[in-house]
Structure 1
Amino acid sequence: MDLRVGVWLFNLLVILLSFICLITDVKSAELDIRPSTNIQAGAPTITFRCQPTIVSGVTSLYRLDISRLREGVSTEQILGTIQVGKQPELGPGLTSPKYTVSGSLTAIDTVSTSFLQIIIQDPNCNDKGEYVCTVTGGNSGGSLTPKKQTNVTVQENPSSLGINVVPSKSEYKSNDSISMTCNGNVGNPAKTWQWQTRRFPASIQWNRYTDSSDIVTDDVSPPIGGSCSYRQQTVLNYRVKAQDDGLEIRCILDNTEEFSQNFTINVSGQNNGGGDGNPEENKGDEPSDAGMIAGIVIAVIVVIVIIVIVIVVVVRRKKTPGKDYDTGESGKGPVPREPDHDPKYNNRNNPSDDYHKNVEGLHYADLELTRAEYRKNHPVPNNTRRSSEDSVTEYASVRVA
Structure 2
Amino acid sequence: MDGKRILLLALIYTAVIQDIKAAKLTITPSPNLQTGATSLTLRCSADANSNYTELSAIGINKVTKGSSSLVAFTTLDSTGSFIRGNGITAPKYEINVALRPQLTNNAIQVIIHNPDCHDTSEYICETTGDTDTPPYVSQSTDYKNVTVQSNPGTVEMKIYPAKMKYDVGEKIEITCQTGVENSESIWTWEAMPPTDSTRELMQIEEFPSEHIFSPAVMTENARTTEVDPQTSTQCGYNTGSTLEHHVGMEDDGLKIRCMVNNSELLSAIKTIHLTLDDVKKRMLLADTERIKLEQEKLKQQISKNTTSCNCCCN
Quick one: which of 212, 223, 234 aligns to 1:216? 223
Q: 1:119 Cα deviation (Å)?
A: 0.5
Flag the structure with more relative contact order, 1 or 2, with Cα contacts below 8 A and sequence separation at least 6.
2
Quick one: which of 190, 193, 197 aligns to 1:196? 190
Is 1:239 aligned to residue 233 of structure 2?
no
- Give the share of equivalent positions with the same residue, in percent: 27
Q: Give 1 or 2 for the bigger CA radius of gyration.
A: 1
Distance 1:44 1:156 in 2: 14
Q: Is this contact kept in 2: 1:88–1:103, CA < 8 A?
A: yes
Note the alpha carbon deviations across 1:22-58, whole angstroms, 9 max, x for none: 6545642222222332332222211112223234543
Is 1:269 aligned to residue 262 of structure 2?
no
Map 1:112-261; keep pairs closer than 5 Å: 112-140=104-132, 141-142=134-135, 143-157=137-151, 159=153, 161-184=155-178, 186-190=179-183, 192-199=186-193, 202-203=197-198, 205-210=200-205, 212-213=209-210, 214=219, 215-223=222-230, 226-261=233-268
Q: Is this contact kept in 2: 1:155–1:187, CA < 8 A?
A: no
RMSD over equivalenced CA pairs, Å? 3.9
The one-letter code matched in structure 2 to 1:177 is K
Change (3 A) 1:16 1:38: closer
Note the alpha carbon deviations across 1:141-161, whole angstroms, 9 max, x for none: 222222122222323345474
Moved more, 76-85 or 133-142: 76-85
Q: Is this contact kept in 2: 1:26–1:54, CA < 8 A?
A: no
Query: Please, which runs of 5 or more residues in structure 1 have no aligned partner?
Result: 1-8, 274-285, 299-401
Q: Is this contact kept in 2: 1:43–1:122, CA < 8 A?
A: yes
The one-letter code matched in structure 1 to 2:116 is N
- With structure 1 as the length reference, what TM-score do the two structures score? 0.55
Higher strand share: 2
Quick one: which of 63, 69, 75 aligns to 1:76? 69
Give the match's secondary structure for 1:61.
strand
Change (3 A) 1:151 1:270: farther
Is 1:44 aligned to residue 51 of structure 2?
no
Q: 1:97 Cα deviation (Å)?
A: 1.6
Distance 1:271 1:107 in 2: 89
Q: Is this contact kept in 1: 2:69–2:85, CA < 8 A?
A: no
Q: Is this contact kept in 1: 2:20–2:141, CA < 8 A?
A: no
Q: 1:18 Cα deviation (Å)?
A: 7.2
Change (3 A) 1:121 1:152: same
Is 1:61 aligned to residue 55 of structure 2?
yes
Give the match's secondary structure for 2:205.
coil
Distance 1:18 1:108 in 2: 27
Query: Please, which runs of 5 or more residues in structure 2 have no aligned partner?
Result: 211-218, 296-314
Q: Is this contact kept in 2: 1:158–1:229, CA < 8 A?
A: no
Moved more, 159-168 or 63-72: 159-168
- With structure 2 as the length reference, what TM-score do the two structures score? 0.68
| Matched residues, number | 267
Distance 2:118 2:232 in 1: 13
